[in-house]
Amino acid sequence: MDPGAVVALALLLTRMYAPLTALATARVEVMSALVSFERVFEVLDLEPLVAEKPDARPVPAGPVSVEFDGARFSYPSADKVSLASLEEVANLDTRGGVEVLHDVSFRAEPGQTVALVGSSGAGKSTIAQLVPRLYDVDGGAVRLAGVDVRDLTAGSIRETLGMVTQDGHLFHDSIRSNLLLARPEAAEEELWDVLRRARLDDLVAALPDGLDTIVGERGYRLSGGERQRLTIARLLLAQPRVVILDEATAHLDSTSEAAVQAALGEALHGRTAVVIAHRLSTVQTADASW
């Protein structure tokens, strides 16, 4: 063989090795994919703790009141909400079952703003999670417009309620699509209108990509206050009949708190609202506090 043929042969041999080794590892990949599939299907097959009744009805039209009537609640223990296949590897927390809410009763009339003030760990966020029926109460009842939430359809509850939490969540997507989640058919002017009312229009207008700026986990970093005002803008766009604010201004400095406060004033106008705070400044304008 001449030198050229030897070099060519060596090169071709190495190129043959790569696919052969890939073929050898294919079995491992198929096996691990099967395991992952098992997990995925296990999650898909999971029975939700909260199920909609077959004869559930939508939230009645018109103004909505929020009512807690002797509500008792304890969080389900970890073994009730965890997956069987994960339990072998994880050491489950066996606590839980401790009653967090003991006989809670209050009422927010339609259009009224009710403040809920208490130290941390008192169960305020738990109350906020029971209104959209993320969990069911163990005793008593939670009612929207006088109807037990267990008799209402999940979709209509979601349409009725708007919530702003301490850490407003944004998806890794443009500002526009984050806003449109609230109302997909909203027009461009409406988006700018809610941004203006949330005191965020100047900031968005100054961004190089404007409404198409990608925000969220790996996108443009909005500050805590800006993120919160964006979730408020989303709330203004959705126009829910009931608004729940869970310590919406707790982590803000006084300048951004003033801006968020102004935006919240817009959000609460004419709506039934439950405002949760551990500082009284947030709730001074409330009609009643519990």
Q: Tell me whether residue 124 or residue 133 sits nearer to ligand ADP (CB atom).
A: 124
Min CB(279)–Mg ion separation in Å? 13
Answer for which of 56, 100, 141, 154 binds ligand ADP (CB under 6 A) is 100
121 binds, among Mg ion, ligand ADP, none (CB under 5 to 8 A by kind): ligand ADP
For the bound state, the minimum distance from the C-beta of residue 63 to ligand ADP, rounded and expressed in Å, comes to 27
96 forms part of the interface with ligand ADP (CB under 6 A): yes
Dist. CA 211–CA 193, nearest whole Å: 13
The nearest distance, CB 34 to ligand ADP, in angstroms, is 32
* Interactions with ligand ADP, residue window 107-126 (CB under 6 A): 118, 120-126
Structure tokens at 116: 């809920």
Smallest distance, Å, CB 75 to ligand ADP?
3
Q: Establish if 77 lies at the interface with Mg ion (CB under 5 A).
A: no
Q: Is position 125 an interface residue for Mg ion (rule: CB under 5 A)?
A: yes
Q: Tell me: does residue 129 bind Mg ion (CB under 5 A).
A: no
**Closest approach of Cβ 64 to ligand ADP, in Å?**
23
Question: Which residues contribute to the site for ligand ADP (CB under 6 A)?
Answer: 75, 96, 100, 118, 120-126
Residues that bind Mg ion (CB under 5 A): 125
